[in-house]
Chains A and B, each alone.
Chain A
Amino acid sequence: MKFLSKKATCNSHGQDSSYFLGWEEYEKNPYDEIRNPKGIIQMGLAENQLSFDLLESWLAQNPDAAGFKRNGESIFRELALFQDYRGLPAFKDALVQFMAEIRGNKVSFDSNKLVLTAGATSANETLMFCLTDPGDAFLLPTPYYPGFDRDLKWRTGAEIVPIQCTSSNGFRITESALEEAYQEAKKRNLKVKGVLVTNPSNPLGTTLSKQELELLLTFIAKKQIHLISDEIYSGTVFNSPKFVSVMEVLIENNYMHTDVWDRVHIVYSLSKDLGLPGFRVGAIYSNDEMVVSAATKMSSFGLISSQTQYLLSAMLSDKKFMKKYVSENQKRLKKRHEMLVRGLKKIGISCLDSNAGLFCWVDMRHLLSSNTFDAEMELWKKIVYEVALNISPGSSCHCTEPGWFRACFANMSENTLNIAIQRLKDFVYSSARDSDIQNHQHSNNTSPKKKSFSKWVFRLSFNERQRER
């Protein structure tokens, strides 16, 4: 007999995807500088571990916030009892100010329009519950964060229809791609309720241009649908162009007194910018009162622990500190990013030009044995098992082109990153050598694909010889 629900027995949680399998392999054999130097290096985890020292020093200087105290008086009882789903007012105020700060104070936010949730995971799901009925669809540009398959679809019954983006234009969103996706949904008899973008993008690490944002607003205005802008990485922008929030464009383009104003919703979290994923701090920001009202009630299913709200309200209200933190954090991210990009470039691997995020979108198409997703899987398995690096294959992000991988750089020490790059270097050179040997042995049997591969290999060997000189 069917004991459990359909949700419990289906696969929509998406956890059988390769994205998670790499994690499992890592769990079995995790790299440790001293105890397991041959283990798998985790590069599939978009965490920001670069700036904890700054937070720790703030804590050391602010014992009250740390110890459930306000002005030396214990407020433990107050916090332990506080379960108001409208959230700690001081925390919400501090959070909206911080969000404004990240956007260069070009926009301001009203804490009454902010709903607190247990992480962006919960925020995204809650928005789906508020905006879609089961069977409705949201359009998402590919590649996108693998977790969306679970967060947006699993318990809500919503569908995702991809907006195909390609490397031909740096994976930018185009009008035709938007329209195509919309028509595709129509073909599948799905009612489109909105578009969801992650800005800055995961996995691309790029920020949406003003043009793209304007395009999106025009599109949702025309189709009378919603736009969700997941801005979880907004504080990780380390290079120009500066981060432009959809709120800014809404105001600039005079959408304020139109119905579009009510249909744009922002998701935020402190998991990436502040590196605090364990604390489960997420938020929904919406100009639509009904959405705020419904989402607030739904937040009962995932409120933020009051002690965490209190700690962070104190921290975020320290504007001087937060300014310093954001700028120093961005500096460190930029340095790390450069390290990885340069290191990869030296071995002939290029990355999509990016200015944000905790990862690079790496182009390994030339390392594929064929331009197929099977070949991508083949390459990925080699990288996980032989090179001992857990990186995320583009297919897990629903990328339309095989050969792209997401590699994270902010969740390990500099040393470890160097080792990771070295391992990749060894792999690439040894693959080139093997291929050389193979080509020599089968010189009469060069298929066009192998030919292109060996052409590249030849180029690499040539470079190497040059360097030796």
Chain B
Amino acid sequence: MALLSKLATNEQHGENSPYFDGWKAYDNDPFHLVNNPNGVIQMGLAENQLSFDLIEEWIKRNPKASICTTEGMESFRTIANFQDYHGLPEFRSAIAKFMEKTRGSRVKFDPERVVMAGGATGANETLMFCLADPGDAFLVPSPYYPGFNRDLRWRTGVQLLPISCKSSNSFKITIEALKEAYENAQQANVKVKGLILTNPSNPLGTTLDRDTLKNLLTFTNEHNIHLVCDEIYATTVFDAPQFVSIAEIITNDEVTNRCINKDLVHIVYSLSKDMGFPGFRVGIVYSFNDDVVNCARKMSSFGLVSTQTQHIIAAMLSDDEFVEEFLIESAKRLRKRHEKFTGGLEEVGIKCLKSNAGLFCWMDLRPLLKEPTHDGEVTLWKLIINDVKLNVSPGSSFNCPETGWFRVCFANIDDQTVDIALVRIRMFVDGNNDVKENGVAKEKQHWKRSNLRLSFSNGKYDENVMSLNMMSPNSPIPHSPLVRARN
């Protein structure tokens, strides 16, 4: 008998996709500089671990910010007791101010519009609940963050319609592609409620330029559909061009001159990437639509930010001097790391998409594919995991319309580990080149040598297959990336 709901028993959460096998490999054999130098290096996790020292320093200097220290104790009971879904006023102000600073103070944010959510994961789902009914669709440029399949669709019943972006123009979103996707939906009788963008992009690491943003907004405005901008990586911009938030595009002038309906524009934000605080679950819905603010706020009851966290974040982000210092230093370190990594890759002939933001690179491994097919990509990926011992993320898991692209994260490991990763990549590429020269099919050789314990049925990628052999009886429970709310 159907005792559980369809939601509980379908695979729409997407966690049984082969994508997560890389994680299993990592979990079975995690790299450690001293204890396991030959283990798998985790490069599939988009975390920002570069600037914790700055934050730890701040915490040491500001014991009052924690409600549990001697200095901060007097606030304990008020904070512990506070469950108002509006959130602590000082928290909302601090977030609004921080959002302004990270956008170069070019635009103002209203604390009254700051609504909490359980991480950006919760924020995205909440917006879908507010803007779309089951069966409605949202357009999303691909490649896109795999978590969207769960966050935007699973419990909401909303469909995702990808807009294909091509490497021929650096994966930029074109109005033509957008129009096409929209029209296809119309023909299939699917109601499109909006467009969701991640800007800066995951997995591309690029930012949208002002003109593109304007054009996208013109399109959504004309068609009376929503525009959701997930700006979770806003502060990870380390290079020109400067980040342009959608908030800058809908200034008063713009709105009047171009008849923009602000009620259709919404921003998702979070401290998980900018500050490196995914554990604290600070997600924000910022909407220019009063009704959405009200609705999202009521829904925030299902994922409020712990007041203990609100309190410390409020104190930290209100410290103007600290914030300014942090933003500059963090960007510096990201840039340095990005340069080091992409530089190292270039030396061995691997190109990355030119990017100016994010915690990852979008690597072009098409030259290494045996065949420019999905199978070819999966084969290469398994090699990288098992032979090169790097957990990277294949483009197919991001719904990339082209094969051969891989996302590799660089901000969650230290410098030494980056060096080791680069050495391994060099060895792999050199090895490949040797093999090529000897005219032997490289994949077959590697395949035989490798200790494959992956469980693909016919090596075919089927997102909806509930394959119970994903977890072999001897393997420990994997740290699926969706175990981490967002990666």
* Residue positions of A touching B, CB distance < 8 A: 1, 3-9, 13, 15, 47, 49, 52, 55-56, 59-60, 63, 65-68, 74, 76-77, 79-86, 118-119, 121-122, 125, 129-134, 136, 150-151, 155, 193, 224, 226, 263, 271, 275-280, 288, 290-291, 294-295, 297-298, 300-308, 311
Contact = CB atoms under 8 A, between A and B. Distances in A.
A134, A155, A300 pick with most chain B CB within 10 angstroms: A300
Contact of B83 (A15, A122, A125, A271): A271
Contacts of A226: 3
B298 A150 contact: yes
Which 6 A-B pairs rank lowest in CB-CB distance, beginning with the nearest? A66-B68, A278-B307, A306-B279, A302-B303, A305-B306, A294-B8
Given A74-B56, A80-B276, 19 more contacts: A49-B81, A59-B68, A77-B56, A80-B278, A81-B279, A82-B279, A84-B484, A119-B83, A121-B301, A130-B5, A131-B5, A155-B129, A278-B306, A278-B308, A280-B306, A300-B119, A301-B121, A306-B280, A307-B280
A175 B9 CA distance: 32
A7 B70 contact: no
Interface string B1-12: 101111111000
16 contacts: A6-B133, A13-B295, A81-B49, A118-B281, A131-B4, A193-B3, A271-B83, A275-B81, A278-B306, A279-B80, A290-B4, A294-B4, A294-B8, A295-B8, A304-B306, A307-B309
B331 interface: no
Contacts of B299: 155
B32 to A, nearest CB: 15
Interface string B266-308: 0000001000111111000000010110010011011111111
Contacts of A301: 118, 121-122, 125, 151, 155, 302-303
Nearest to A76: B56
Given A60-B70, A81-B279, A275-B80, A224 B5 contact: no
B486 interface: yes
A385 B117 CA distance: 35
A311 B303 contact: no
Interface in B115-135: 118-119, 121-122, 125, 129-134
B9 A305 contact: no
B100 interface: no
A79 B312 CA distance: 14
Contacts of B226: 3
B3, B277, B307 pick with most chain A CB within 10 angstroms: B3
Contacts of A303: 118-119, 281, 485
A151, A278, A303 pick with most chain B CB within 10 angstroms: A278
B240 interface: no
Given A1-B224, A4-B292, A155-B299, A56 B304 contact: no
A83 B485 contact: yes
Given A66-B68, A81-B279, A294-B8, A302 B482 contact: no
B63 interface: yes
B332 interface: no
A8, A125, A297, A306 pick with most chain B CB within 10 angstroms: A8
A107 B74 CA distance: 37
A52 B80 contact: yes
A52, A59, A63, A118 pick with most chain B CB within 10 angstroms: A118
B258 to A, nearest CB: 19
A129 B306 contact: no
Contact of B81 (A9, A277, A300): A277
A4 B130 contact: yes
Contact of A66 (B66, B122, B134, B485): B66
